[in-house]
Amino acid sequence: MSDPVSRTILLLDIERFSDRDDVEQAYLRRMLYDITDRALESAGIDETRRLRADRGDSVMELIDANAPVTALLRALLTEVPAQLRAINRMASRSAQIRLRGVVATGYVAVDRHDGWVGSDLNHACRLLDAGLLRAALRERPDDFALCVSDALYTGVVRHDHTGVPAADFHPVTMESKNGPLKAWLHGPVPGEAATTGDQDHGDTGAGEAPGGSGNRPAPAPPRDGSRDGSHQDRPAPAGSGGAPAPGTVVNIQGATFTGGVIGGNQYGGISGGRFSGDVVLGDGADRHRERGERT
């Protein structure tokens, strides 16, 4: 094993990679590599100053410690979101790509099998897998969520370099199997409720709406107990004599009507009982054409 060498660590991971089929995964991997290469090139970091490890749905870069970290951060904050917008604008829902990113610093050694060893690298991987970072990406309207290690924030970010505004980074504590890890999240910190349930690596898509870019948690079931979210079981507004106000949803034979106008009259109070036969909806001239029988 080589002696540990100081490195800048960059990790990028594709959200919900395992939900895609083989063809889509191959496409997403190509996009991930293209995005990473362009970002590093724009930061002035060529291939001679970095090592890459392929992790399937993620990429790991060990960057020469002499390469400017500020340039890397500026590229991640500007170049990567711009590339993601351009790609997703033209991509189908199944080909949308959203990324979580981590930048850290520390000592890493390379063994004789070209494996990477180092506790600083392990901590960076834990940050990438943390539920809070996953939740941050789910809540973002854009397609990228980035956090930096505490050491990198202290050494670089907090000094408010041009293009790397320190005020945009917020202190967070990431839960991991090695215990809590302090880090700094770029952008808004997600609510605590959004972070529960995300523990291990590998997105299952649970609690998310299907599709690609901009996915959000699926809507919660209605509180009134109705399965389809309709308001037919809710009580009528006060003072209406038991009749729903205009605009209230009424369900007749499984069909939902709004506005409360049936046959031209404000029959908002149709409740109780079952209707069969034809029900004709129209203006005042049709008010006597309802042929349904109430049973």
Q: What is the pLDDT of residues 142-175, one digit of tens each?
A: 899 999 999 999 999 999 999 999 999 999 998 8
Integer distance in angstroms from the first to the last C-alpha of the chain?
85
- The CA-atom distances, in angstroms, between 82 and each of 28, 78, 143, 270 are 16, 6, 10, 54
| Domain residue limits, the chain | 5-195, 230-295
CB distance 112 to 7 below 8 Å? no
Mean pLDDT, residues 197-207: 39
Answer whether residue 29 shows pLDDT above 80.
yes
Tokens read off for 1: 């094993």
CA–CA separation, 18 and 30 (whole Å)? 15
Is CATH 3.40.50.300 what the domain over 5-195 is classified as, yes or no? no
Rounded mean pLDDT of 178-194? 83
Task: Answer whether 190's CB lies under 8 Å from 140's CB.
Answer: no
pLDDT confidence of residue 83: 95
Concatenating the DSSP letter of every residue in 174-235 gives E--TT--EEEEEESPPPPGGGGTT--SSS---TTB-SSSTT--BPPPPPTT--SS---TTSP
Percent of residues, the chain, with pLDDT higher than 90:
50
The answer, yes or no, to whether residue 181 has pLDDT greater than 60, is: yes
96 three-state secondary structure = coil
* pLDDT level of residue 229 (50, 70, 90 thresholds): very low
Q: Which residue, among 82, 61, 45, 49, has the nearest Cα to 13 in the 3D structure?
A: 61
- Which range is most confident: 100-114, 205-219, 226-240? 100-114
Question: What does the pLDDT look like over 90-134, one tens digit per residue?
Answer: 888 889 999 999 999 999 998 877 788 889 999 999 999 999 999
User: What interhelical angle do 119-129 and 131-139 show, nearest 10?
Assistant: 40
**Rounded Cα–Cα distance for residues 123 and 35 (Å):** 24
The owner of tokens 């033209």 is 90
Instruction: Look at residue 243 in the predicted model and tell me its pLDDT.
Output: 47
Count CB neighbours of 256 within 10 A.
12
Residue 258 has pLDDT above 60, yes or no: no
Which residue did the predictor score with more confidence, 31 or 111? 31
Lowest-confidence pick of 32-46, 159-173, 203-217? 203-217
How much is the pLDDT for 57? Answer: 85
